[in-house]
Chains A and B, each alone.
Chain A
C-alpha cells in the first residue's frame, strides 16, 4: 500500500517536471527585458539582437515572486560588473518584492555601449536563500560559457537567467 502511494507520487512528480520543467528551478520568476533607443524611441529587443557602439540601453526586471536577486553584466571583454540596483539591496538583503518593476540603471539614466565589440551578456541571478557570497557568484559568471542567446540554468543554488546581445561595432 505504502509502495503504491510512493510510486503514485513519483509518477505525479515525473509528469509535473515533464510538463513544467521550470518547476525544477526555484520559485524565483522574473522577466528580464532590454530596451534600446533608436531615433528617440525605446524598442524592446531580444537575445541575439545586434547592437552598435554608442547604442543606449535600459533594462527592466519584472518580478513575480519574492526572492533574493543580483544582476550582472558580462561585457565583450569578459569583465563582469555587479549592477544590482540599490533599491534591490536595502540593508544588504537582495530580497525583492513580487510584482514589482525595477529599471536599470534607473533615475532616467541609460547604459551606453563602448567600442569593444563582442557578446554583451546580461545575467540575473536568483535564489530563495540570501546571496551571501557575491564574489563567488561573480567568478562563476565570469568563467561560465553562455552558449545560447538566452536561457536559464541552475548552478549551485542559483538560477541564472541570461540574455546575450551581439555588439557589432559602430
Chain B
C-alpha cells in the first residue's frame, strides 16, 4: 500500500489481505470509516507470519536478509464504498496508518488471477505501486499459491521493503 496515497480496492474479493514487516507482535488491526469514530473492524493478537528471504545489494556486495512477513485477512463484504482508515499497532505502541478507498466497480467481470499476475509483474518492472494492493487481493493466500506466484510476490515484498529504506 502506498504511504502517501490511498490504496484502491475496486476488485470484489470477500476477504482483503493486509501484509507487513517490522514491529513486535502481537499486533492489533483496526479499520475505521474515514468519517466515523466507530471501528468497522478490529482484530487483535495477530502473530502469524511467514519468513521471506530477500537480498540487499550495495555496490558489488549482496547480503541475504530474512524478514517476518505478517498478514491478516479481513472480510469486507459489509463495507460500503468509501474511504477507510487502517491502523496497525504493535505491542509497544508503534502504529502504522494507511488510507484505503473501496470503489463500487461497475465491471461485472472479476479479473482473473492470471491477469492480476500480469499487472503485478508490469508494476514491478515499472517500479509503480498504484494498483498493486488491488491486484494482490486476487492472488489470495500465498501459502497455497503456485510456485511462480510465490516467486513474483517475494520480489514484490522485497522491493517494497527496500522502498521503505530509500
Contact = CB atoms under 8 A, between A and B. Distances in A.
A139 B95 contact: yes
Contacts of A138: 89-90, 92-95
The size bracket of the interface on B is: 10 to 19
A139 B87 CA distance: 8
Nearest to B32: A143
A79 interface: yes
A135 B97 contact: no
A142 interface: yes
The size bracket of the interface on A is: 10 to 19
A81 interface: yes
A81 B4 contact: no
15 contacts: A70-B93, A77-B3, A79-B95, A80-B95, A80-B97, A81-B94, A134-B91, A135-B28, A135-B92, A137-B93, A138-B93, A138-B95, A139-B30, A141-B95, A143-B87
A75 to B, nearest CB: 10
Contacts of A53: none
A80 B94 contact: yes
Given A134-B91, A139-B87, 5 more contacts: A77-B4, A81-B94, A82-B93, A135-B93, A142-B97
B129 interface: no
Interface of B: 3-4, 28, 30, 87, 89-97
Interface string A126-161: 000000001111110111000000000000000000
A61 B97 CA distance: 27
Which 8 A-B pairs give the minimum distances between C-beta atoms?
A138-B93, A80-B95, A134-B93, A142-B95, A78-B97, A82-B93, A134-B92, A138-B95
A162 interface: no
A119 to B, nearest CB: 13
Query: In this complex, which of B3, B89, B91, B93 has the most chain A Cβ atoms within 10 angstroms of its Cβ?
Result: B93
A68 interface: no
B96 A79 contact: yes
A90 to B, nearest CB: 15
B87 A142 contact: yes
Given A77-B3, A77-B4, A139 B94 contact: no
